[in-house]
Structures are given as C-alpha cells and as structure tokens.
C-alpha cells in the first residue's frame, strides 16, 4: 500500500515546488547576489566600472553677482545727483549756500531719518494715536528743523536777535536732564529743538533713551553730509525724503512761538531767499554799488592818440 502511494505521489507534477526549488538566490565567487525578484542581475562590483565608462557631464560655471546695500545706495546717489543739477541748485564759486530749497530738503531729510530709524514704539505704541496725529507730528518736526536751518545758516552770525535766542536756548537746555545730555554734542541742538520740543507738545513726555538715539541718528547724518559733495548732498536729501514718503507731500514752514522778533526776522529771510532763488544768475559776493554800468559819459576815459 505504501509503495502504491509513493508511486502516485511521484507521478503528480507540482509546478510551484519546481519553481521554488529552481530559483534560490545564489552567491557567486565574487560575492555578488542574484535573484529573479531583483530589477537587475548586475553584480555590485561591476557598478563602479560602468560609472567610470560614462562620459563626464559638462560643468556649468556660474558667476554670482554680489550686490551690497552700500553699492546700491552709492549708485542711487549718482543717478539722483544728475537729476538735481539744475539752475536752482547751482552755486557761485562752487560754494554750498543754504537756499530755500536746500533748507526744505535738509529738514525733510532729517525728519525722514528719524521716522525710518527710531524704534517703532516711539509713536505707534501709544493708545490714543491716530494717523492724522502721526502726520501732524512729523510735519511739526519738519517745520522745526526748517526753522532751525534758517536760524543757524541763513541769518547772519552777528544778528542780535539770533545771538540772544541761541544763548537763551543753550541756558534752557542746561535746565533739563535731557537738555544736559544733548548739550555740546553733535546733533544735540537739532534733536532738542525739533524732536524733543515736538514730543513734549504732542505727548507730554519724552524718553531720554529715544532722544539719545535720535541724536546719534543726526550725528550720522551730519557725518554723511561732510563726506559728500554738493550735488551728492542734495541727492541724499531727496533720496531719503522720497523713501520716507515726505518729499513732495508737505512743504515745511517757519514755526517759532517763543520769540516774535526772531520769527519776523526768519520770515523776512525766507522771502529774500526765495527771491534770490528765482533769479537766474546772482553773485552773492558782488555788491551793486561796485558795478560799473558804463563809462561813456566820462570823456576823460578816452585817450586821444596823435
């Protein structure tokens, strides 16, 4: 009976058994494994050889353009300087005169640097602040800086009202803690006269750290002015004014509420300065009494040659 079962078992063909027996993974003498379930039967030792036979791929050399903020700013100054070289900016003997346009642009420039560089919570963190108040605040700062430009650079240094006012301002700065900090340092008078006084008028208080930060901003502005030529300086004024959105939006005016005589003197200087700017060609070193119009009426001026 067992012999009969063995004969029947040997006569039955089982394909799955033959497949499994005929397809074991074999390991060759070189250590490579082959399997019918693998995607490729290539040995691992032949892969580096095939890679060496491939042609080298072309190498693309890319040159990166490096652009720094200082380079962009210098290029912008050169571009704007070509725009501002008009008659209203021309100076006699290449001297930097504070025309009315320059007094305006310089005031706008300094106010723009305040707005761009001071901490955001200086104004915007106050609870009762509105957009109208913010605009009015910066306009008043521009007015004060514009007034100070005329006071320091347009009025004659021997003007008695000017001398008295500057002495009183220096004494007033010495009476306050912030004023003492601003006194006798670069940018201190401008910060005290324009930003500190406006901050007190609008908000009632002023922070010492904020005022010192503002003074350092103006110190940097004045250092930049000294390094630039006349056209580049004009371009810098316009550049920062446009960047802050101040230039062309508001025209500064004279504001002085503690000295009526000095206010009248500055307003007169503004009128004279604007008239001087509107003239085509004016030599500030030339006196009208010294100009010789004609010598035709003087017969002795001619030499008679015999």
Say if 231 falls within a structural domain.
yes
pLDDT attached to residue 81: 60
Say if 164 falls within a structural domain.
yes
Cα torsion 295, 297, 298, 301: sign: positive
Q: List CB contacts of 230: < 8 A, sequence separation 6 or more.
A: 89, 91, 94, 96
Cα–Cα distance, 155 to 147 (Å, whole number): 11
pLDDT attached to residue 123: 74
Say if 20 falls within a structural domain.
no
**Helices H / strands E in the chain, number of each:** 13, 2
Q: How far does CA 242 lie from the centroid of its chain? A: 10
pLDDT attached to residue 274: 86
pLDDT attached to residue 38: 44
Instruction: Give 263's Cβ-side CA count (13 Å radius).
Output: 10
pLDDT attached to residue 200: 92
pLDDT attached to residue 230: 81
Say if 185 falls within a structural domain.
yes
CA nearest 135: which of 104, 234, 143, 127?
A: 143
Say if 89 falls within a structural domain.
no
pLDDT attached to residue 197: 94
Pairing label, strands 26-27, 33-34: antiparallel
Say if 258 falls within a structural domain.
yes
Query: Which residues does the chain have with pLDDT short of 50?
Result: 16-45, 47, 51, 58-67, 87-95, 280, 301-306
CA nearest 163: which of 179, 154, 152?
A: 152
Number of structural domains the chain divides into: 1
φ/ψ of 26, rounded to 5, equals -110, 145
Say if 247 falls within a structural domain.
yes
The SS3 call for residue 161 is helix
Q: How far is CA 160 from CA 27, 101, 157, in A?
A: 109, 26, 8
DSSP letter, residue 285: T
Record the tokens describing residue 140, joined without a space: 């008043």
E strands in 222-275: none
Say if 204 falls within a structural domain.
yes
Q: How many residues comprise the chain?
A: 306
pLDDT attached to residue 107: 96
The SS3 call for residue 205 is coil
Q: List CB contacts of 119: < 8 A, sequence separation 6 or more.
A: 210, 213
φ/ψ of 12, rounded to 5, equals -80, 130
The domain of 243 spans 99-279
């Amino acid at each position: 009976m067992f012999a009969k079962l063995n004969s029947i078992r040997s006569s039955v063909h089982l394909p799955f058994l033959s497949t499994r027996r005929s397809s074991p993974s074999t390991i060759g003498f070189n250590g490579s494994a082959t399997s019918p379930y693998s995607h490729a039967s290539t040995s691992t030792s032949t892969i580096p050889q095939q890679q060496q036979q491939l042609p080298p791929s072309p190498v693309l050399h890319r040159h990166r353009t490096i652009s720094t903020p200082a380079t962009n700013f210098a290029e912008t100054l050169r571009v704007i300087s070509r725009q501002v070289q008009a008659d209203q900016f021309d100076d006699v003997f290449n001297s930097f005169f504070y025309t009315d346009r320059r007094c305006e642009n310089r005031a706008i420039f300094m106010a723009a640097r305040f707005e761009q560089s001071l901490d955001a919570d200086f104004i915007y963190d106050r609870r009762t602040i509105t957009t109208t108040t913010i605009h009015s605040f910066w306009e008043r700062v521009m007015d004060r800086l514009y007034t100070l430009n005329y006071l320091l650079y347009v009025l004659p240094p021997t003007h008695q009202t000017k001398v008295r006012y500057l002495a009183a301002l220096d004494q007033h700065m010495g009476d306050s803690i912030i004023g003492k900090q601003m006194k006798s340092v670069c940018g201190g008078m401008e910060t005290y006269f324009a930003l500190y006084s406006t901050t007190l008028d609008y908000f009632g208080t002023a922070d010492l750290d904020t005022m010192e930060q503002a003074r350092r901003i103006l110190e940097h502005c004045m250092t930049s002015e000294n390094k630039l030529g006349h056209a580049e300086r004009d371009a810098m004024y316009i550049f920062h004014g446009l960047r802050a959105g101040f230039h062309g939006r508001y025209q500064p005016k004279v504001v002085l509420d503690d000295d009526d005589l000095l206010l009248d003197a500055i307003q007169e200087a503004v009128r004279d300065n604007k008239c001087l700017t509107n003239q085509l060609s004016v030599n500030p070193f030339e006196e009208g009494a010294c100009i010789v119009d004609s010598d035709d009426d003087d017969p002795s001026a001619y030499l008679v040659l015999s």
